[in-house]
Amino acid sequence: MAGPVASGSRALLLRPLRSWAFRVLRRDGPGSPASCPGSQGAQRWAWPRDKDRENEKEKKSVVCVEGNIASGKTTCLEFFSNSTDIEVLTEPVPKWRNVRGHNPLGLMYQDACRWGLTLQTYVQLTMLDQHTRPQTLPVRLMERSIYSARYVFVENLYRSGKMPEVDYVVLSEWFDWIVRNIDVSIDLIVYLRTTPETCYQRLKMRCREEEKVIPLEYLDAIHHLYEEWLIKGSLFPVAAPVLGVAGPEPHCTFSW
């Protein structure tokens, strides 16, 4: 879990997200470009403009909260955990730490060259499960996505020389097939733009055993990949409009 955040700052951080959700649900409908400022570059929408306005209330939206390790994602999702109209799906870290008695997350941090493919294959599977499970509430709020698993974490392993090209190609082929054949589309990405230094300090305060070996350089590499993907748009296609939340607490600013 991320470090403590003042309640006032947390409300400020999340006000634009709740405002977006209500606007989408009650006026334009999920997936409508008119409801999502900054929609340039979006590739797919979970729902096209409704062919039958009578079913407007039945539509649902998917929002992914993205960001570095210890950027504040858990705190963000917890704020909405008691909402009656928002379904919160946290990252399935417990599964990554215990697969029939094995801990691929811990193994990857100990030896990324050996275990990177093993972990990322399972991450891709578990995130696919998150995307495709039946949605019962109007808004689904997910911690990260199958997109960041591929575009940030797999990409970092490959760029850092810790994943052989054959492993990278196989994972990429699996990801490309999923995106082409299964509906994993999303409506909004909320990007928590926290500095690597702030993430590193928070990381040292929380108690995940596997994360004790993470150096600042790793967080810096993840940060730059997120920036390339979601801010500069120079890395990979962006699957939805991006709501950027920049700056450490308590002075948060927002940009589309």
Closest CA to 203 of 190, 220, 191: 220
Closest CA to 148 of 66, 40, 46, 246: 66
Neighbours of 66 (CB within 10 A): 24
d(CA 158, CA 101): 27
Pair 131, 181: CB distance under 8 Å: no
Q: Which residues does the annotation mark as catalytic?
A: 143
* 250 prior amide bond cis, ω within 30: yes
Torsion sign, CA atoms 140, 64, 233, 36: positive
Pair 114, 161: CB distance under 8 Å: no
Q: In Å, what is the CA distance from 154 to each residue of 41, 141, 145, 148, 165?
A: 22, 23, 13, 9, 11
